[in-house]
Amino acid sequence: MPHAAARAICWLPSWNQDQPGVGLEHLLLSPGAADSVVLAIDEDQGPFRLTYRLGWDDAWQLRHAGLKVVTELFTHSLHLETDGAGHWRDERGPLDELEGCRDIDIWPTPFTNSFPIRREPMALGERREFRMAWIFAPDLTVQVQPQAYTRLGERRYLFENLDGSGFRAELPVDDDGIVIDYPELFQRVRLPR
């Protein structure tokens, strides 16, 4: 896949059935870096703003992540670093519970699904399992989540959550391996070029 040039990508959330069409993610993507703002409404905690900045190397191996959530009731921040070999730390020190995780998956954004796709190129029909550092907003909790990706076509992947929920989704990606639409969760906004 070619390297992504600097560009803006936007997604509309469709996961909150009580607030259809409310919210937006605006991602500024450049080689090795992403800077994003997500405006959304959590069913339990109400409206929130999530900002995140991610940095990775040429092999799409994440190196650092900075996240901040603001709601009416609280502000939370999280800063993570990883060495690319599955070792993580935050501002307090090592995070042994994330040992072996190579990638990050942030809820709610479809962007982080692109990390295993870009970092681990797969042949058609190939399936791979991953240990993800899964971050849930608006709380910014972090836990290990097993996931799998199967390459179904030239630009289509099957995502499977292996936590027992049975959640699966077919993800179309663009030429840069960035998720276009995420069925029932996110829809990319077609921006003029």
User: Residue 57: which of 25, 89, 103 has the closest Cα?
Assistant: 103
Q: Give pLDDT, residue 4.
A: 45
The CA-based dihedral angle spanning residues 122, 128, 130, 58, taken in that order and rounded to the nearest 10 degrees: -10
93-146 per-position pLDDT tens digit:
999 999 999 999 999 999 999 999 999 999 999 999 999 999 999 999 999 999
92-101 per-position pLDDT tens digit:
999 999 999 9
Domain range list for the chain: 7-188
105 CB-near residues (< 8 Å, 6+ apart): 112, 113, 115, 132, 133, 134, 135, 145, 147
pTM here? 0.92
Share of the chain above pLDDT 90, in %: 88
**Amino acid identity of 123?**
A
Structure tokens at 150: 């199967």
